[in-house]
Structure 1
């Protein structure tokens, strides 16, 4: 008979694969940046936010904080490397003023994560308490980043157009949220459940809006690159990134 632990592992691996694909979704944006050797109107904030998110969930998944969280570590470790690459490209093609801004934010993020790690390891001596403290911080950051799709959904309702909300992105985000919700329920983990449950609900709401308004979306609009904020539901609170969609 298949154990719950084995099922949870399989679900987590599937979640890792989907999340990895979503981490790679901004590639068109960076291909544009590299080809034009300029960041133009693109913002580094989503990638810096995702980097912080991944770092916090790496802390959460450490054996000394929350044991038996290998799949949390793997996906967020991969996300950390991918976001670091994105930020490096952004830094390379940014003007000096924006570079200083990026460096400043990076320093603040690193100091914050270092302080959390030092405080938890130095001042808290049980896994349960460490999990609670870091988990609450992760949920706060993840929930804050989840506010991003609300502006897109508002735009869809106001314009009666899904031009800025591609179906594939919403659908994959929904599947990813459901996958990680299942993972958290198979061995209950409230801190993984809350952000991914919220992500699944928001993605479902986006799908409902898509089916409601896709028929009223103009078909004769010129092709253009659109930068979309995207929430990536992983074992961490769903990571925030940008993707350029060509219509």
Structure 2
């Protein structure tokens, strides 16, 4: 494997910057897992963001290794695979039986089963540059599908006029990451790396625009039990998790509100910590 891709002198610079930002993004969930270790419970946290981030890192790592000369993609996604595996192991160790079983099922079916199928298909049905291109566009398709998640965020923000679960700093750094990896993709002449980050950049700008519009607006409260987490992935693995409101039942929310206030506060706190788990990378 070549030490680095030298197709453009700035490629290495942008690749290093992308690695630094993505490295910090991968470490964002650490406080969440310190809390899990201390309480010996996963509470209301979900494992899906970490499973998806691991799968994305595995895909991009496989793609980078097939290209032979993309050491900067290999480094960040290798780190992503390791750190996400640690997160998932901790989650499984302290999850309830039901959550543990569902997590293991997803891990076996997606991260092992589906990924193994992709390896077999690309190995036996394609070769050389065709194999690399096929896998690259598969990575693009996966990234684009996950990038569709912010549309639910936009709907929630407009309806509730609240950006409580969309920190500006988070959106800013993920937008910056998209710009850096887009530039890196252009410099190494790899559209599979560059293209998904165009969408990531546009959605990042939209999130920051909404933050500017609604940061001082009067907020509509959402019952904590109606909040669910969705994942927003960067092109190469790290993810961003937001709690969203799937059609809240107003009448149910108002029922016994005083009696359930403590339980709701606990759930809201867990959802906020889930937000900080930013799983991927380009």
Which residue of 1 is the match for residue 161 of structure 2? Answer: 160
Check the 8 A contact 2:53/2:238 in 1, yes or no.
yes
* Root mean square deviation of aligned Cα: 2.3
CA deviation after TM superposition for structure 1 residue 229, in Å: 4.6
Q: Which residue of 2 aligns with 1:132?
A: 133
User: Aligned equivalents of 1:241 and 1:114: distance in 2?
Assistant: 26
Counterpart of 2:97?
96
SS of the residue 2:239 aligns to:
strand
- Unaligned runs of 5+ residues in structure 1 are 219-225
> In structure 2, what is the Cα distance between the partners aligned to 1:147 and 1:35?
35
CA distance in 1, matches of 2:229, 2:28: 11
Helix, strand or coil at the partner of 1:162: coil
Corresponding position of 1:239 = 238
- The alpha-carbon distance between structure 1 residues 206 and 32, as it changes in their structure 2 partners (threshold 3 A), is same
Query: TM-score normalized by structure 2?
Result: 0.76
- Change over 3 Å in CA distance of 1:209–1:241 after alignment to 2: closer
In structure 2, C-alpha distance between the alignment counterparts of 1:233 and 1:11, rounded to whole Å: 16
Give a deviation string over 1:182-213, Cα, whole Å, max 9, x none.
00111221111121111111111000101111
Partner of 1:214: 215
The within-5 A match list for 1:64-213 is 65-108=66-109, 109-126=111-128, 128-213=129-214
Quick check: 2:59–2:115 contact (8 Å CA) kept in 1? yes
Bigger radius of gyration: 2
Per the TM alignment, residue 9 of structure 1 is displaced from its structure 2 partner at its CA by 0.7
- Native 8 Å contact 2:137 2:192 kept in 1: yes
Farther off after superposition, 190-199 or 81-90: 190-199
Q: Distance in 2 between matches of 1:227 and 1:76?
A: 27
Alpha-carbon distance in structure 2 between the residues aligned to 1:140 and 1:120: 15
Equivalences for 1:55-70 in 2 at 5 Å?
A: 55-62=58-65, 65-70=66-71
* Distance (Å, rounded) in 2 between the aligned partners of 1:10 and 1:160: 39
Q: Give the TM-score, by structure 1 length.
A: 0.87
1:6 to 4, 9, 27: 9
The gaps in structure 2 that reach 5 residues or longer are 1-5, 220-226, 242-271, 277-282
Is the 8 Å Cα contact of residues 61 and 77 (structure 2) preserved in structure 1? yes
1:130 Cα offset (Å): 1.2
Partner Cα distance (2:16, 2:189) in 1: 17
CA distance, structure 2, for counterparts of residue 217 and residue 44 of structure 1: 32
Once residues 217 and 231 of structure 1 are traced to their aligned partners in structure 2, the CA distance between those partners, rounded to angstroms, is 26
Provide runs of 4+ in structure 1 moved above 6 Å.
Answer: none
Measure, in 1, the Cα distance between the counterparts of 2:37 and 2:218: 31
Identify the residue that residue 36 of structure 1 maps to in structure 2. Answer: 39
Distance 1:182 1:227 in 2: 34
Summarize the Cα distance change of 1:241–1:47 in structure 2 as closer, same or farther, 3 Å threshold.
farther
